[in-house]
Structure 1
Amino acid sequence: MALTFLVGFGLLALGYWWFWIVFPIGFAGVLPAAIGLVKLYESRRREDESESHSETEEALATLRRRYANGELTEAEFEEKVERLLETETVADARTTVAARRQRETETDVEFEDR
């Protein structure tokens, strides 16, 4: 909106007689397009957040079901729940995997040294 005013009044100050064309184009075309893009961005962001939340809920429900059926011990269940909650986002998952690999590498080096 500010850009429309800036361009329109800038053209007026420079003496262009057709400066007024900027206002209908800006307010009837550019402004609604910008608002539409913002709404599209927000809706996609909300969809991504709800998908990640539902995936976590599904995984947690599966773990609870397996624990209730006796497929997992209490220690295994707690470990898997902890790991699941540590990796709620992709960045968290990458960090967790990198740390686990680092620990495994250090353990392998210790065994090779002995």
Structure 2
Amino acid sequence: MTDRSPLERARDNVTELTSLAVTGFWLVALLTGQEWWLVALLVGYVVVVPLTELLYGDADEEAEDIEEADPAPSSDTGDETPLERLRCRYAEGELTDEQFERKLERLLETETLEDAEDATRDEREREFERS
């Protein structure tokens, strides 16, 4: 169990608690026959909950969202796309202009899974015809 106080947990979950309070408020209004329950629902979910999220939203989630939206490319990770690897090899001088263009053309031809399967099948047929 955590050593955090109820106040700290409430502060971390303020948006969820606000949403719960809004739901309870309009439900009580609906069940008691108040005519303004729909206004409470709309104002609560369209104004109060989003405003609470803007004011008290989790800073850690914002940092994660930023990292997910713009990941820094790294040559150390295996997360590089084939195009990025090809560009790096060309930039480092491993490939000539002709090799780069040929590999780039092949890569673009096999961009989708179906294209890759077609290219593999064509290559096997060419190898079979050669032998």
What TM-score, normalized to structure 1? 0.40
What TM-score, normalized to structure 2? 0.37
Greater helix share, 1 or 2? 1
